[in-house]
Amino acid sequence: MLEVDNLCIAFETKQGLRPTVKNMSFSVRPGEIVGLVGASGSGKTLMSLGIMGLLPANAKVTAGSVRIGGTDLLSLDAESLRRMRGSRMSMVFQDPLSSLDPVFTCGDQIVDAIRLHEDVSRAEAYRRGVELLRKERIADPVRCMKSYPHELSGGQCQRVMIAMAVACRPQVIIADEPTTALDVTVQKQVLDILRDLNREVGAAILLITHDLGVIYEVADRVVVMYRGVKMEEATTAELFAAPKSDYTRALIAAMPSLGERRDRLPTVASALDTADDEDAGSAAVHTEARPRLYAVPAEPAEPEPRHDAARRTADTRSPLLSVRNLRKTYVVRDGAFSPSRAFRAVDDVSFDIPFRTTLGLVGESGCGKSTLSRLIMRLTACDSGSIVFNGQDLAGLSGPALRQARRDMAMVFQDPYGSLNPRQTVEELIAEPLVVNGRATERAHVVPRMIDCVGLARSALGRYPHEFSGGQRQRIAIARALALHPALVICDEAVSALDVSVQAQVLNLLKDLQHEFDLTYLFISHDLSVVEHVSDTIAVMQGGRIVETGSADAIFAAPTHDYTKTLLGAVPRAVRPIPPPPFTQAFQS
């Protein structure tokens, strides 16, 4: 149904044409779901826009063809192409809330989608919309139709988007990272809905994502893309069983997945992780870009027992952090004159973190884990409860005593693009904790040491954050967190905003630093597989309460609470029957 043949898309820059998609060829049959997987920057979104004819002004198709049901899209004039959009081909975008018009109700937008291409009455279109939403298992479809996008959750908005996309029974549906912005449990629901709806509609679906787990869940076939070039194409089963290209193997291996914990994750060094683009300005089209692999130690046959677990359990100190009965309630108001109600963000939370271990705190958005981290750092005051850190109860401290106690704690935030002051150089950023705490004289030797520890070059010290990529910025944030040699580091979704391959690098770094600096981590995340990989103990949080705690092994092998079971069930599992390639030295192209 959808045939892409040798498609080439390039950007028009001042230095000439910069090819971004190079000779992509694949096809999608009706009723089939093909996953297009690649890291951010690989050109997959651009290609999807190129297929739909929605390229930005400075990009254009330089060669190749795109056919839908035999019709060559690139030869059509703008008006005919426009008529095909929405009726024969449609698209679902990543961020549902910003992809819907905020001043029109969802119902209006769905009705629009239908009446643009089919000659039906408003009432009929409305009825069809309600029916579609009902099929997507929305609890109250009529209310949903009457609501504005900002009144719905992310998952509901995405269902509205999908309804708009399938309303006219298109032949091709392109879904660009449809679940990336959603919670894990919602992700699974949305993917299931997409697959079920398609059984009726029978469209050819191109599912674009960077998450191999999603591919494993729903895709029939997979196309792997790296830097604009097709690396591999196979059925899902084949791909995971016997990946042919090294990049695919590295991608699969880099995915921290449930049931397999190793000491270090093998990583893919992509040029994406450096500030300079090696391809810039090069006129030759690389038909094959071979990524570099870092050295991976030879793997033993069975999964290793927890590294240094024996050494750690021998440490008899009392827990570094001991939280008891922590509570925080917010007073919220739904509207200006509606009655206020109490919202329990953190509800009677207690846990311990032993010295030199990692506690993984897992839960979905809105469960209160971020509030909890803010409470522990004393960025917000708790209502009641105790936070015993290093023998002192932080909850009662204030002023200089609090500042003194705080020096032994540090936090790494989620957003690498928002947690670094854009107006300070890297050197100033890392030295800031020293300056704030009156130890500015130490910056001359502490800062270079920190930048070395996180694996960045000394030349980075004089540059500004916007010159670095996401993974590099997170390293800077880690260096900053460690400047005062804290005992406890709270990682609040520290790797959630990063690509899978970059995630692996940062997680490895965190592990190394834990050994080197005797750190204790509170690792907060919504991603179970990441949490499993780094944690010794795990606490599951829902609705402000801790519903289950235990060692990582115990929780994943035999969860007791229902919510934990739901979470585990929702995670896309990718089982890897072969170990990663046992290279003992790095090879380069």
Partner 1 sequence: MSQRILLQLCRRPVTCASLVVVALVVLVAIFGRELAPCDPYLIDQSAVNQGSSALHWLGTDELGRDLLSRLLAGIRPTVLVSLGATLFAAVFGTALGLAGGYGPAPLAFFVMRGVDILLCFPPILLALLAVGFWPSGIGSLAIVIGIVYVPHFARVSQSAVARVVQQEYVQAELAMGATWPRVVSVVVLPNVLSPLVVQATLTVAEAILLESGLSFLGLGIVPPEPSWGQMIGTAQDYLSQHPMYLFWPSLCLALTVLSVNLIGDGLRDLLDPRLSKS
Partner 2 sequence: MKGKLTSLSLLTARKLFTALVQLYVIATLVFSLMYVMPGDPVRLLLGSDSNPSPEAIAAMRSKLGLDQPVLTQYAHWLRDMLHFDFGQSVFDGYPVINYIRSGLPNTLELALAAILVAIVIGVPLGIVSALRRGTPIDAVSTSVSTVGMSVPVYILGALFVVLFSLHLHWLPSSGYMDFSRNPVEHFRRLVLPAFTLGFGLSASISRMTRSSMLDILSRDFVRTLRAKGMSERRIVWRHVLRNAAIPIVTIIGLQLGNLMGGTVLVEAMFNWPGLSTLLVDAVSKRNYPLVQGGILTIAALYILINLGVDLLYGLLDPRIRRKRT
Which amino acid is residue 437, in one-letter code?
N
363 binds, among partner 1, partner 2, none (CB under 5 to 8 A by kind): none
Alpha helices in 407-551, H assignment, sequence order: 426-436, 443-453, 470-482, 500-517, 528-534
Residue closer to partner 2 (CB basis): 90 or 236: 90
**Applying CB under 8 A, which of residues 16, 396, 422, 462 lies at the interface with partner 1?**
422
**Applying CB under 8 A, which of residues 47, 91, 268, 538 lies at the interface with partner 2?**
91
**Footprint of partner 2 on residues 431-460 (CB under 8 A)?**
none
Residue 336 binds to partner 2 (criterion: CB under 8 A): yes
Q: From 320, 317, 316, select the one nearest 387 (Cα to Cα).
A: 320
Residue 436 binds to partner 1 (criterion: CB under 8 A): yes
Q: Shortest approach of partner 1 to residue 436 CB, angstroms?
A: 5
The whole-angstrom separation of Cα 520 and Cα 524 is 13
Residue closer to partner 1 (CB basis): 66 or 497: 497
Residue closer to partner 2 (CB basis): 333 or 449: 333
Which amino acid is residue 173, in one-letter code?
I
413 binds, among partner 2, partner 1, none (CB under 5 to 8 A by kind): partner 1
Q: Position of tokens 């597989």?
A: 529
418 binds, among partner 1, partner 2, none (CB under 5 to 8 A by kind): partner 1
Which amino acid is residue 405, in one-letter code?
A
Which amino acid is residue 6, in one-letter code?
N
Residue 16 binds to partner 1 (criterion: CB under 8 A): no
- The region that residue 333 occupies, defined by phi over 0 for left and psi between -120 and 50 for alpha, beta otherwise, is beta
Q: Point out which span in 84-92, 118-126, 204-212, 473-481 binds partner 2 (CB under 8 A).
A: 84-92
DSSP 8-state assignment for residue 402: H
**Footprint of partner 2 on residues 458-517 (CB under 8 A)?**
none
Q: Which two tokens stand for residue 180?
A: 């990336």
Residue 104 binds to partner 2 (criterion: CB under 8 A): yes
The whole-angstrom separation of Cα 212 and Cα 216 is 6
Residue 413 binds to partner 1 (criterion: CB under 8 A): yes
Q: Which two tokens stand for residue 198?
A: 């398609």
DSSP 190-208: HHHHHHHHHHHH--EEEEE
**Applying CB under 8 A, which of residues 18, 60, 117, 134 lies at the interface with partner 2?**
117
Please say whether the beta carbons of 136 and 197 come within 8 A: yes
Q: What are the residues whose beta carbons fall under 8 Å from the beta carbon of 426, sequence distance 6 or more? A: 451, 456, 460, 461, 462, 463, 464, 465, 476
**Applying CB under 8 A, which of residues 11, 294, 330, 417 lies at the interface with partner 1?**
417
The whole-angstrom separation of Cα 110 and Cα 100 is 10
Residue closer to partner 1 (CB basis): 266 or 433: 433
85 binds, among partner 2, partner 1, none (CB under 5 to 8 A by kind): partner 2
Residue 52 binds to partner 2 (criterion: CB under 8 A): yes
Q: What is the dihedral of CA 431, 433, 438, 444, to 10 degrees?
A: -20
Residue closer to partner 1 (CB basis): 335 or 399: 399
The whole-angstrom separation of Cα 129 and Cα 323 is 49
Residue closer to partner 1 (CB basis): 465 or 544: 465
**Applying CB under 8 A, which of residues 25, 27, 99, 392 lies at the interface with partner 2?**
99
Residue 379 binds to partner 1 (criterion: CB under 8 A): yes
CA separation, residue 140 to residues 43, 132, 144 (Å): 38, 12, 6
**Applying CB under 8 A, which of residues 68, 215, 411, 539 lies at the interface with partner 1?**
411
CA separation, residue 83 to residues 77, 78, 80, 510 (Å): 10, 9, 5, 52
What is the contact mask toward partner 2 in residues 164 to 203, using x (rule: CB under 8 A)?
A: x---------------------------------------
Residue closer to partner 2 (CB basis): 82 or 485: 82
Q: Which two tokens stand for residue 133?
A: 């939403």
Helix-helix angle 562-570:184-201, to 10 degrees = 50
Residue 4 binds to partner 1 (criterion: CB under 8 A): no
Phi, psi values for residue 341, rounded to 5°:
-130, 160
Burial degree of 331 (CB within 10 A; 0-12, 13-18, 19+): exposed
Q: Shortest approach of partner 1 to residue 424 CB, angstroms?
A: 7
Q: Position of tokens 């097709």?
A: 230
Residue closer to partner 2 (CB basis): 283 or 336: 336
Residue 388 binds to partner 2 (criterion: CB under 8 A): no
**Applying CB under 8 A, which of residues 261, 480, 526, 533 lies at the interface with partner 1?**
480
Residue 385: its H or E element:
strand 384-389
Residue closer to partner 1 (CB basis): 309 or 379: 379
Q: Point out which span in 148-156, 197-205, 219-227, 517-525 binds partner 2 (CB under 8 A).
A: 148-156
Q: Shortest approach of partner 1 to residue 403 CB, angstroms?
A: 5
Residue 106: its H or E element:
helix 106-115
Cα 505 from chain centre:
14
Helix-helix angle 470-482:426-436, to 10 degrees = 20
Please say whether the beta carbons of 105 and 152 come within 8 A: no
Q: Shortest approach of partner 1 to residue 464 CB, angstroms?
A: 8
Residue 410 binds to partner 1 (criterion: CB under 8 A): yes
377 binds, among partner 1, partner 2, none (CB under 5 to 8 A by kind): partner 1
Residue closer to partner 2 (CB basis): 182 or 382: 182
Q: Shortest approach of partner 2 to residue 14 CB, angstroms?
A: 15
Judged by the rule CB under 8 A, the positions of this chain that interact with partner 2 are: 52, 54, 82-87, 90-91, 93, 95, 98-104, 112-113, 116-117, 148, 150-151, 161, 164, 334-337
Judged by the rule CB under 8 A, the positions of this chain that interact with partner 1 are: 374, 377, 379, 403, 406-407, 410-411, 413-415, 417-424, 432-433, 436-437, 464-466, 477, 480
